[in-house]
A and B are shown apart, each in its own frame.
Chain A
Amino acid sequence: MDSGPSTEVTITREDALKYYRQMVTIRRLENAASSLYKEKAIRGFCHLYAGQEAVCVGLEDAITKEDSVITAYRAHGWTYIRGVSAAGVLAELTGKQSGCAKGKGGSMHMYCKEFYGGNGIVGAQVPLGAGIALAKQYQGTKDVCLSLYGDGAANQGQVFEAFNMAKLWNLPCLFICENNGYGMGTSAARASANVDFYTRGDVVPGMWIDGMDVLAVKQGGKFLVDLCREGKGPFVVEVATYRYTGHSMSDPGTSYRTREEIQEVRQTRDPITHFRDKIIDAGLTTAEEIKKIEAEAKNEIDEAVKIAKSDSELSKEHLYADIYANPLEEEIRGLTPFTTHKHQRVATPINIKL
């Protein structure tokens, strides 16, 4: 790379309000998920995205709906921004049939067109993303794939394998490290001998982006996406961000960091309040308009929570549905040989024609 993106950004009022609305909605979505978890309406793992909203909002605006995204287990914000409704996300979290994976995937396994999850094996999504990029290139499109991972996953061997092959084959892939400072309770510095994640692609060029600034994320992301479309990929991107909550709902998130640290980020670098002040100061909106957007976001999430709570779970025969796209056995064994069940094919895949 000879030069980087411009550090001056122009934004329309329309885009500013869109970013704000999206970030506020995702924050509310995660707050709702937190409450639902505490009410025991959500089971198992639940990893919240609060604090990192500017990353998915900025990057989504740097790509089109034809481009692909794959991420790890902190997937709620990404699922929403890729096109699943708030109800589709929250009902998935509560395991209900209106969830985007009908309650069969849960927090870590949500999908929609050109969004390939939601992956629960840390780092495994990185080569998957390179493979999606390979398919884009193979099919002769100009589309790209964003392959996201955290600072924790950055030390998985297969991440480096993916960098190497992506570079060998010039894949249109952005490897994006959402560095939120901690892999579970292990700080980046305790896990990585080199914490400059954007430099870890070896000969793959890298870029560091302030992930608390949605405009920087959009600007940097768009710059690299455009280069990828010209066949100049791949790139490694480090987006520096912060998670307000613990690693998951079972982690208070205060044994390995101080409450003061979290408070300081909230007060000085919060991606939402920071952006709100900026766009009000710039005269793009007013405090009244902001209040209106916040009220609308609250309504959207409140409605989604109602659905997530009131909807029912799939009926029991769905336990034996959609195991294979082309099932060869009519009967699937249950817990004992005395109970066999019909293998049902219910859904139509979104990624292939059958």
Chain B
Amino acid sequence: MHSIMRSAVNSAFKQGAINRKISTTAALNVKLMVRDALNSAIDEEMERDETVFVIGEEVAQYDGAYKVTRGLWRKYGDKRMIDTPISEMGFTGIAVGAAMAGLKPICEYMTFNFAMQSIDQIINSAGKTFYMSAGSVAVPIVFRGPNGAAAGVAAQHSQCYGAWYTHCPGLKVISPYSSEECRGLLKAAIRDPDPVVFLENEILYGIAFETSEEAMSKDFLLPIGKAKIEKSGDHITLISHSKGVGTCLDAASELAKEGISCEVINLRTLRPMDVETIFKSVMKTNHVVSVEQGWPQCGIGSEICARIMESPVFDYLDAPVIRVTGADVPMPYASSLEALALPRAQDVILAVKKVLNVQ
């Protein structure tokens, strides 16, 4: 497992060379890697609140399998940076118990693939206790780690859990894209009194995003449950989360050259889903394509389709909503096959042209 991890980290660092220019904010003066955005968010919240601590595999002395917690063990010591054995179900239960008893754990998974071992503790113990106890026992905890496909790590390490956790009332689910939202949303998640599943993306860890000065403030928070319009447009709405947002922005740039104006919505939070932003955009563009790396069946795109169909904005659609998703197969290892299993800009462009009925 560890050698796989190391090579994955290296590949993420290589990806770091690709810097994406995004955001509609005026003053852009800091370049911040997603990894460092997450690190600073955790650091600041630990500084702010003594009850915040990190628990997980390799989070302390190893500096984090993906270096998200780099330096924090030296700063906060063994008490607040807890290395666990490889026991996902056990340490997740311990983290949830600690949350019930008054602490604010950040429970890190080396990847969310391993959290499948502990999904019972996340859903049954963390997600349902507040309701089962009629509001008497809250569970303030953040479950975080890389989610979805990385690069070259094959089927068991390449799965998106967005749809899985989003299914469950009692949980809040965040799937951020840029450094700014990693900071603002992780800080908000740590301060939130409910269990929050925070789905990061390994490929994005090494990407530096231009980040506003405001976002570097220790008090910078973003609202959970609000989407962001990454790019305003008129002809069609592209809705995505996490790395898929980048794919949409790439597709939008290409399509702009052909005179097609795309509005790109970055969901940021999957539960609760900001359907208001989606609906407003549908009323404006009358066309929708959803884009995600997860599988098609019962995916985020499926939910978007259902929410639109069940609402009056359905009547504003000029064409069926189309989902661009990960291929409906377990992830293959070989590079050329892997590339075909995940949505690329060209797949989004194809879908957009089909929906708009242009060549």
Interface of A toward B, CB cutoff 8 Å: 68, 70, 101-105, 109, 111-112, 116-117, 119-121, 124, 126-136, 138-139, 145, 157-158, 160-162, 164-165, 168-169, 321-326, 328-329, 332, 337, 345-352, 354
- Determine how close the nearest CB of chain B comes to the CB of A116; give it in whole angstroms: 5
Q: Which residue of B lies closest to A130 (CB)?
A: B94
Q: Collect the chain B residues with CB atoms within 8 Å of residue A119's CB.
A: 125
Question: Is the C-beta of B100 less than 8 angstroms from some C-beta in chain A?
Answer: yes
Proximity string of chain B (91-111) to chain A, C-beta cutoff 8 Å, 1 when within and 0 when not: 111111111111100000000
In the complex the two chains form, is B93's CB within 8 Å of A124's CB?
yes
Proximity string of chain B (138-174) to chain A, C-beta cutoff 8 Å, 1 when within and 0 when not: 1010000000000000000000000000000110100
Best-buried of A126, A127, A321 by chain B (most CB within 10 Å): A127
Give which listed residue, A124, A126, A135, A323, contacts B98 with CB less than 8 A: A135
CA distance A326 to B91 in the complex (A): 25
In the complex the two chains form, is A164's CB within 8 Å of B89's CB?
no
In the complex the two chains form, is B100's CB within 8 Å of A116's CB?
yes
Q: Collect the chain B residues with CB atoms within 8 Å of residue A116's CB.
A: 97, 100-101, 137
Q: Which residue of A lies closest to B140 (CB)?
A: A352
Q: Do A322 and B101 form a contact, CB below 8 Å, given A128-B125, A131-B96, A328-B225?
A: no
Give which listed residue, B125, B135, B225, B310, contacts A347 with CB less than 8 A: B135
Give which listed residue, A103, A129, A346, contacts B135 with CB less than 8 A: A346
Give which listed residue, B84, B97, B192, B272, contacts A128 with CB less than 8 A: B97
- Determine how close the nearest CB of chain B comes to the CB of A297; give it in whole angstroms: 27
Best-buried of B100, B121, B135, B311 by chain A (most CB within 10 Å): B135
CA distance A157 to B117 in the complex (A): 11
Q: What 9 A-B pairs are tightest by C-beta distance, nearest first? A: A131-B97, A161-B90, A127-B93, A347-B135, A322-B135, A135-B101, A128-B97, A131-B94, A161-B87
Give which listed residue, A105, A145, A168, A321, contacts B132 with CB less than 8 A: A105
Q: Collect the chain B residues with CB atoms within 8 Å of residue A324's CB.
A: 130, 170, 172, 194
14 additional A-B residue pairs with CB within 8 Å, beyond A102-B134, A138-B98, A323-B131:
A101-B136, A119-B125, A124-B125, A127-B89, A132-B97, A162-B94, A165-B84, A165-B87, A324-B172, A324-B194, A326-B193, A328-B172, A347-B136, A349-B137
- Determine how close the nearest CB of chain A comes to the CB of B22; give it in whole angstroms: 25
Question: Is the C-beta of B224 less than 8 angstroms from some C-beta in chain A?
Answer: yes
Q: Do A157 and B89 form a contact, CB below 8 Å, given A322-B131, A324-B194?
A: yes
- For window 176-204 of B, CB contacts with A under 8 Å fall at 192-194
Q: Collect the chain B residues with CB atoms within 8 Å of residue A321's CB.
A: 134-135
CA distance A169 to B129 in the complex (A): 26
Q: Collect the chain B residues with CB atoms within 8 Å of residue A158's CB.
A: 87, 89-90, 93
Question: Is the C-beta of B335 less than 8 angstroms from some C-beta in chain A?
Answer: no
Instruction: Sample 11 A-B pairs with CB under 8 A, ordered by A number.
Output: A104-B133, A104-B134, A105-B132, A121-B120, A124-B120, A124-B124, A127-B89, A128-B121, A162-B90, A351-B100, A351-B102
- Determine how close the nearest CB of chain A comes to the CB of B12; give it in whole angstroms: 29
In the complex the two chains form, is A345's CB within 8 Å of B138's CB?
no
Q: Collect the chain B residues with CB atoms within 8 Å of residue A325's CB.
A: 130, 135, 138, 140, 193-194
Q: Do A111 and B272 form a contact, CB below 8 Å, given A128-B100, A128-B125, A130-B97?
A: no
Q: Which residue of B lies closest to A163 (CB)?
A: B90
In the complex the two chains form, is B96's CB within 8 Å of A128's CB?
yes
Q: Which residue of A lies closest to B105 (CB)?
A: A131
Q: Which residue of A lies closest to B90 (CB)?
A: A161
Question: Is the C-beta of B85 less than 8 angstroms from some C-beta in chain A?
Answer: yes
Counting contact residues on chain B (CB < 8 A from A), the size range is 35 or more
In the complex the two chains form, is A138's CB within 8 Å of B53's CB?
yes
CA distance A119 to B126 in the complex (A): 12
CA distance A323 to B310 in the complex (A): 23
In the complex the two chains form, is B96's CB within 8 Å of A349's CB?
no
Q: Which residue of B lies closest to A158 (CB)?
A: B89
CA distance A332 to B131 in the complex (A): 14
In the complex the two chains form, is A101's CB within 8 Å of B134's CB?
yes
Best-buried of A70, A109, A124 by chain B (most CB within 10 Å): A124
CA distance A68 to B100 in the complex (A): 11
CA distance A78 to B152 in the complex (A): 51
- For window 191-224 of B, CB contacts with A under 8 Å fall at 192-194, 223-224
Q: Collect the chain B residues with CB atoms within 8 Å of residue A104's CB.
A: 131-134
Q: Which residue of B lies closest to A139 (CB)?
A: B102
Q: Collect the chain A residues with CB atoms within 8 Å of residue B125's CB.
A: 119, 121, 124, 128
Q: Collect the chain A residues with CB atoms within 8 Å of residue B169's CB.
A: 323, 332
In the complex the two chains form, is B135's CB within 8 Å of A326's CB?
no
In the complex the two chains form, is A162's CB within 8 Å of B93's CB?
yes
CA distance A350 to B134 in the complex (A): 11
Give which listed residue, A103, A131, A347, contacts B101 with CB less than 8 A: A131
CA distance A54 to B220 in the complex (A): 54
Q: Which residue of B lies closest to A109 (CB)?
A: B132
In the complex the two chains form, is A105's CB within 8 Å of B100's CB?
no
Q: Collect the chain B residues with CB atoms within 8 Å of residue A130's CB.
A: 90, 93-94, 97
In the complex the two chains form, is A129's CB within 8 Å of B97's CB?
yes
Proximity string of chain B (303-331) to chain A, C-beta cutoff 8 Å, 1 when within and 0 when not: 00000001100000000000000000000
Q: Collect the chain B residues with CB atoms within 8 Å of residue A161's CB.
A: 85, 87, 89-91, 93
Q: Which residue of A lies closest to B104 (CB)?
A: A352
Give which listed residue, A128, A139, A354, contacts B93 with CB less than 8 A: A128
Q: Do A329 and B93 form a contact, CB below 8 Å, given A109-B133, A352-B193?
A: no
CA distance A328 to B185 in the complex (A): 14
CA distance A162 to B84 in the complex (A): 11
Best-buried of A70, A126, A135 by chain B (most CB within 10 Å): A135
Give which listed residue, B79, B85, B172, B194, contacts A164 with CB less than 8 A: B85
Q: Collect the chain B residues with CB atoms within 8 Å of residue A70's CB.
A: 97
CA distance A102 to B132 in the complex (A): 9
Q: Collect the chain A residues with CB atoms within 8 Å of residue B101's CB.
A: 68, 116, 131-132, 134-136, 145, 351
Q: Which residue of A lies closest to B170 (CB)?
A: A323
- Determine how close the nearest CB of chain B comes to the CB of A261; give it in whole angstroms: 34
- Determine how close the nearest CB of chain A comes to the CB of B336; give it in whole angstroms: 39
CA distance A136 to B133 in the complex (A): 21
Q: Collect the chain B residues with CB atoms within 8 Å of residue A349's CB.
A: 130, 135-138, 193
Q: Which residue of B lies closest to A101 (CB)?
A: B134
Give which listed residue, A117, A329, A332, contacts B133 with CB less than 8 A: A117
- Determine how close the nearest CB of chain A comes to the CB of B271; give it in whole angstroms: 9
Q: Which residue of A lies closest to B99 (CB)?
A: A131
Q: Collect the chain A residues with CB atoms within 8 Å of residue B225's CB.
A: 328-329
